Amino acid sequence: MNPDNVTGASLSRGASVTDRLKMLARLHKIEARRGLFEILSNPLSNIMTVLVIAIALALPAGLQIMLKNAQSLSQGWDGASRISLYLKTDLPEKRINQLAEEIKQQDGVASVEVITQQQALDDFIDGSGFADAISQLDSNPLPPVLVIQPAASHATPQASELMLAHFEKIKEVDVAQLDLDWVRKLYALLQLAEKAASALALALALAVLLIVGNTIRLSVQNRRDEIEVVKLVGATDAFIRRPFLYTGFWYGFLAGVVCWLLLNASLLWLREPVANLAGLYQSEFQLSGLDWQQSLQLIALSCALGLLGSWLSVGRHIRQIEPR
């Protein structure tokens, strides 16, 4: 008997696994294209949705970029955590240099600068304009100083403080000082900002899920008749879900791209004034944006949110639609 005449061929029995996979891939291609066309075919309302998602993503992403820049800026100010060792005034110069060498050998020390009593006095005369007053003194009241620059790995407030405690114990050291306070404040501020940014990112990610979910819910309701028909001809839930998942994915993708454009446009807009400002502080600082890896991460995250949002929404809503 001709196999085509056999009734009850409800499934493509006889189709090989590769054929089935090919068909599945083809179906995915068709659905992916249809999902995109559906968004593009109703530009006005869908562009609004994409923009809302893009802005919701751009806010935390922009904040992250700002934080990253602030951190790189504060790293440029590691010098601030320099340790000054004021030595006793009666040390011979040879001993001072020897001490500097010893300290240089220690862990976490990047460099040691020696400021002799004479240099300190010269600097003071140059900088203060008290030359006349100083010349009245019979001896140099300024101590020799060792200025220690911690290595980058020891530049955090905690590490610097440990180091300070260590240097304080050297018997030639009169006073050890670390100008740390404002560095500590800056770090605390950055940490707070980071936490706040994470909370904001979480809240807005949730908002994106809800926006996509709601859009997909409306889309499911608009296609109620179609869903009933495909259910009647034997479609599984997975089959019905697929185009909506693609729609959600495309929303995420488009929003990710728009978000990326928004961020780069604002960075471009800010670059000039930031460079001007940095120039006033004699700094070479430049705003850094997203490198390609972060750009891809942003778009991938956006796609994932779109997909997840539609996934959470579509399953529940197509279940409610049964043919009548």
Partner 1 sequence: MIEFAEVSKRYPNGQEALRNVTFQLADGEMAFLTGHSGAGKSTLLKLICLMERATAGQVIINGKNLNRTSRRKIPAVRRDIGMIFQDHRLLFDRSVFDNVALPLMIAGYPHREIGRRVRAALDKVGLLSKEKHSPIMLSGGEQQRVGIARAVVNKPPLLLADEPTGNLDPELSAEIMRLFEQFNQVGVSLMIASHDLSLIAQMHYRTLVMKGGRLVGDQNEPGEEQQEADHES
Give φ, ψ of 38 to 5 degrees.
-60, -40
Residue type, 244: F
Q: Supply the angle between the helices 237-280 and 224-232 in degrees, to the nearest 10.
A: 140
Closer residue to partner 1 (CB): 26 or 104: 26
Q: Residue 100's Cα: distance from chain center in Å?
A: 40
**CB of 8 or CB of 92, closer to partner 1:** 8
- What residues are paired with 150 via a beta bridge? 109
Least gap, CB of 319 to partner 1 (angstroms)? 9
In this complex, which beta carbon is closest to partner 1, that of residue 5 or of residue 136?
5
108: left (phi over 0), alpha (psi -120 to 50) or beta: left
Q: Which residue number, 17 or 137, has a Cβ lying nearer to partner 1?
A: 17
10 vs 139, which CB is nearer to partner 1?
10
Interacting residues with partner 1 (CB under 8 A) = 4-12, 15, 19-20, 22-24, 26-27, 225-226, 228-236, 239, 322-324
Distance in Å, CB of 52 to partner 1, minimum:
26
Give least dist CB 312 to partner 1, A: 20
As measured in angstroms, the least distance from the Cβ of 43 to partner 1 is: 17
C-alpha span between 38 and 213 (Å, rounded): 16
Give the span between the Cα atoms of 280 and 314, in whole angstroms: 55
Q: How far is the CB of 66 from partner 1 (least distance, A)?
A: 46
CB 130 within 8 A of CB 147: no
Percentage helix, strand, coil for the chain under 3-state DSSP, each rounded to 5: 70, 5, 20
Minimum distance from CB of 30 to partner 1 (Å)? 8
Q: In this complex, which beta carbon is closest to partner 1, that of residue 170 or of residue 235? A: 235
Residues contacting 230, CB < 8 A, separation 6+: 239, 240
